[in-house]
Amino acid sequence: MKFFIDTANLEQIKEAQALGILDGVTTNPSLMAKEGITGAKNILQHYVDICNIVDGDVSAEVIAIDFEGMVKEGEALAALHPQIVVKLPMIADGIKACKYFSDKGIKTNVTLVFSAGQALLAAKAGATYMSPFIGRLDDISTDGLGLISDIKHIYDNYGFETQILAASVRHTMHIMDCAKIGADVMTGPLSAIKGLLKHPLTDSGLAQFLADYKKGN
């Protein structure tokens, strides 16, 4: 299972990278704005800065919502750095653009997926990644993890190579449940990733080992 961090915060990306378990980064316009990164030039430079920290794929989202605009923007994003993945919204023109980029061998991430039908379209368009937003579904009393299971079942039926990128992960149990279902990738905040470290028996066991060592030295 690949671990992506869902942030535009460089310090958090560095911290996850230093743990040695980071496979990539996802961003979106809201995450950029949260870090105070505004204006096309600054945003593009920020993507390059992120690529220079991590070894894996970095999703960069287009703002255009028409096919021609997405192609123009996506090509500029892809030219920024070999690690860039063009992130496209799950709308008709986004699917057309996804097919265009996949035919050209440019990696894509179809975002804002909320149904299995949308996931099927993204796979047929050759998406590299397809991002169902599980937390946002849970927020409206809909089963986000159930969607991941349905998509996994459909993709396995036909051997689609599109990777299921469980997005809008909010906490550690989301990660574990996605791992049980077999999502290829998860993207979530640093807090959810670091949450996997925690167990009280690890802490008390280590404290005991250190105390016993001190007794004999």
CB of 67 to ligand E4P, least distance (A): 21
- CB closer to ligand E4P, 21 vs 206: 21
159 CB burial (10 A radius; 0-12, 13-18, 19+): exposed
- Interhelix angle 92-103/67-80, rounded to 10 degrees, is 40
Which residues share a beta bridge with 89?
111
Instruction: Give the tokens for residue 68.
Output: 């021609």
C-alpha distances (whole Å) from 174 to each of 19, 21, 49, 58, 198 are 20, 17, 29, 21, 15
- CB closer to ligand E4P, 78 vs 192: 192
Catalytic residue, candidates 14, 34, 87, 214: 87
Interface ranges with ligand E4P (CB under 6 A) = 6, 26, 28, 111, 131, 133, 135-136, 167-168, 187
Query: How many residues would you count in the chain?
Result: 217
- CB closer to ligand E4P, 6 vs 150: 6
2 catalytic per annotation = no
Q: Which residues are catalytic?
A: 87
